Amino acid sequence: MEMIDRWIKDSLLMKMLTAASKPEIYAGSVFCNLIARFIKYLSVAAAGSFFKLLSLDSHWEKSAVNRSRIIRPISCAVPLLKKGINHANRMIGGSLLLRTSLRAESLFMERPLPVLGCFLFFATLSSTALKALFSSFTLKALVFRLILLAVSFAMAFINVNLERLLRTSILAEAMCFMIDESDKVIFKAGSGIRGSAFDKTDRWLLAGVGTIIGSFYYFLPAITFIKLFGLIFLSVLIYIKPWCGLYLAVFMLPLAPTAYSVAVIGLVFASLLLNCDKFDMDMPAAIIPALMFMAVAAVSAVFSVMRSESLKTLPLYAAYFMAFYSSAILMRDRVILKTALFFQMMSALLLSAYGIYQYFFIKVPTAIAWVDVKQFPELATRVYATLENPNVLAEYLALAIPMALGMLFAGEKLGRKLLFSAITGVLAICLVLTFSRGAWLGLVLALLVFAAIKEPRLLIWLILLGFVSPLFMPSVVVNRIASIGSLEDSSNAFRVTIWIAAIRMIKDYWIAGAGLGLTAFSRVYRDYMIAGTPALHAHNLYLEMGIEMGVAGILTFIWMIIAGFSRAVNCIGKDTWHSFLLAAAVGALAGHLLHGMFDYVWFSPRIVMDFWLVFGMTSALAARREEALNEGAMA
C-alpha cells in the first residue's frame, strides 16, 4: 500500500491537483471572505436570539433535567433501577449460555480455526447421520457434506490466533487502510486469554453444542433454524459487544427488511442499558427535544382516527429513538465510529453497484407513477436497487455521499483519498440514475453546507463543476434538472394540489394530528382531496408531520434540529478528522431536510432509521470535540 501511495503521490496529475488545492490560493480571496462574513453574521444573529436558550447553550439540557420538578421524583427510582440492572446482569452472567459463550469467545480469539472446525465437524456429522437414518441424500449433497466434514476436521489442527489471522487477511487490510487503524484495535483481538488451554473439556463442550445445533438443523425448517439460532447468537454477541450490533444494523439497513434492523437496534439499546457502567452515558445533544418529539408521537397515536393502526406504527418511533441514542453513545469511540462508517460505505457501495447494474444491464422498466411519460418519453429506467422506489434509494444515497466526502477530506494518505473519491463517484452515479430531482437538490445543499462550514475550497470546484457538467451530461439528465419547479410536469402539479389539501387537513387536526402512519392519512385525505388527486402521503415531510402529529410535532422536530445543528456547528474546529465528519453529517442532514420540502422522505422506515443514526452521530462527534477541548488537547 505504501508503494502505491508513493507512486500516486509522485505522479504529475496528483502534483497538479495538490497545487490547485492549496489553501494559500484561496485564502484571503473575496469569495472566501464573503462566505466567512456571512457565517459570522449568522452566528452573531443566532447568539442573540431566543433560540440561544433552547439550543446554543451546550449545557442547558443538563440544567433543565437537574431543575425539573418532574424529573426529581423519577430520579428517586434510579437506585432501584440500578439494582434491577445489576440483578439482571447477575442472572445473565450466571447463565450457562453466557458462560459457555464467553469461554468460546476466549478460545476463539486464541485458536479460531480449531474451535470453528470442532464445532462444524460435529454439527455436520450429527445432521448427516440423522438425514442418513430418516431420509436420503442426492449424490451432490452427500459429496458436499463429506467435503465439509474433511475441511472442518483439518481446521481442528491449524493453531493460529485470531490477531495473526486478521493481519494476513485481505478484508482486514482493506478495512485498516480505509479507516486508518490497526487490525488489533479494530477487531479488539486481544481480549482472548493468552495461552488458554484447549483441553478435553472444551472439545467435549464444542462437540456437544455442535451435535445439538446439527440436530436442530435437521428437524427445523431452514428459515426457522436461521431465525432462532441467529437471534440467540446475536443476543449474546451484542450483549458482550454492543458495537457489533451497531455495525450490523448500519450494514444491513438498506439491504434487509426493516424488521431485522429494528430487532438489532433494540438489542443494542438493551445491551447499552444493561452495560451502562461500561460506557459514557452522558446526555446526547438534543435529547430533550427528541424525547418531546417521541412523546408527541405517542399522544398522536393514542388520539388517532385509526388508533389500532397508529399504535402499530408507534414501536417504529421507539426504534428511531433507540437508533439515535445508541449511535450518540457508541460513536463517541473513535474506532467504533470509523468502523461503522466503513460498513455504511460498503453497504452503500453494494447498493449503488446493484443500481448501476439495473440501469445498464437489466434495464428495469420505470413505473408510470414514477415519471411523467409525456414530459420525459426518453426516461425508460429509474433504478431503485433493493429499496422500494427510486426516490427512497436517492434519499439513502444523499445521506451517504456527504459522509463519503467527509471520509475523503478526513484522510491524510493520498491512496485513501483516491479510494474514497472512487466510492463517492460510484454513489453519485447511482444517485443520478435514480433521476430524483429532490435528492439532487438536497445533495447540492449538503455539499454547499459542508463547503461553507468546513472546506471553502470545495465551493470553487462545485462552481466549476456546475458550469462544465452541462457539456457532458446526457440530455435526459439536463431535461430532468430543467423541469424542477415546472408545473407542466404532472408530478409537480399533483404535489401542489396535495399540499393545498394537506394544509387544510392540518388546520382541522392541528392539536394532536390525525394519527401516525399512512393509514390515518388515507382515512382523512379522502375528505380533503382536490380534483380527485390520489395520494399515499403529503409529498412533504413537514406537512405530513403536521397531519400525523399536529403543530406540536412540527415544532418539537424543528426545535430538535436547531438544538442538534447548533451544538454540532459550534464544535467544528480545526482540520481534525472528526471535524470533517461532523461537517459532513450536518451537510447530509441539511440536504435531507431540504429534500423533505418536496417529498415525504420518511416514507420508508429504513430512511428514517438512517436519519436518526446520522443525527446521533452528530451528537457523538460534538461530544468528542467538547471532551477534547475540556482536556486541553485534540484527539
Residue type, 501: A
Query: What pLDDT, in 10s, does the model give residues 529-544?
Result: 987 788 889 999 999 9
Q: Kindly report the number of other CB atoms within 10 A of residue 613's CB atom.
A: 25
Higher pLDDT, 411 or 343: 343
Q: What is the mean pLDDT of residues 253-275?
A: 93
- Please determine, for residue 223, whether its predicted confidence score (pLDDT) is greater than 50: yes
41 band by pLDDT with thresholds 50, 70 and 90: low
pLDDT surpasses 90 at 330: yes
Query: What integer pLDDT is reported at residue 266 of this predicted model?
Result: 95
Amino acid 67 reads R
Predicted local confidence at residue 193, as pLDDT: 45
pLDDT value at position 488? 66
The crossing angle, in degrees rounded to 10, of helices 437-453 and 30-47 is: 90
Is the pLDDT reported for residue 328 higher than 90? Answer: yes
Q: What is the mean pLDDT of the chain?
A: 82
Return the pLDDT at 20. 47
Rounded Cα distance between 241 and 363, Å, is 42
Share of the chain above pLDDT 70, in %: 80
For 12, the enclosing helix (H) or strand (E) is: helix 12-20
Q: Where are the domains of the chain?
A: 98-219, 287-362+387-463+490-631
Q: How many CB atoms lie within 10 A of CB 170?
A: 7
Report d(CA 51, CA 59) in Å as an integer. 14
What are the CA-CA distances from residue 81 to residues 14, 77, 274, 506 (Å)? 58, 6, 11, 41
**Distance between CA atoms of residues 68 and 62, nearest Å:** 10
Query: Which among 229, 503, 482, 509 has a CA at the least distance from the CA of 375?
Result: 482
Give the pLDDT mean for 510-531: 91
State the cell numbers at 317. 418511533
C-alpha grid cell, residue 410: 478526513
**Is residue 145 scored above 60 in pLDDT?**
yes
Span 439-455, pLDDT tens digits: 999 999 999 999 888 87
**Tens digits of residue pLDDT in 569-584:** 887 866 678 888 999 9
Query: What integer pLDDT is reported at residue 318 of this predicted model?
Result: 95
pTM, two decimal places: 0.86
Q: Which of 201-215, 254-268, 378-392, 474-488 has the lowest mean pLDDT?
A: 474-488
In the prediction, which pLDDT does 533 show? 81
Question: H or E stretch including 1?
Answer: none
Cα–Cα distance, 70 to 267 (Å, whole number)? 29
> What's the start-to-end Cα distance of the chain, in Å?
25
440: buried, middle or exposed (CB in 10 Å: 19+, 13-18, 0-12)?
A: buried
Q: What is the mean pLDDT of residues 361-381?
A: 75
Q: Can you tell me the mean pLDDT for 7-12? A: 52
Give a three-class secondary structure readout of 484-515: CCCCCCHHHHHHHHHHHHHHHHHHHCCCCCCC
Closest CA to 406 of 248, 253, 617: 617
Q: Identify residue 578 by its one-letter amino acid code.
A: H
**In contact, 459 and 587? CB cutoff 8 Å:** no
Instruction: Supply the pLDDT for residue 215.
Output: 92
Q: Please determine, for residue 7, whether its predicted confidence score (pLDDT) is greater than 60.
A: no
pLDDT value, residue 376: 72
Is 123 or 412 the better-scoring residue by pLDDT?
123
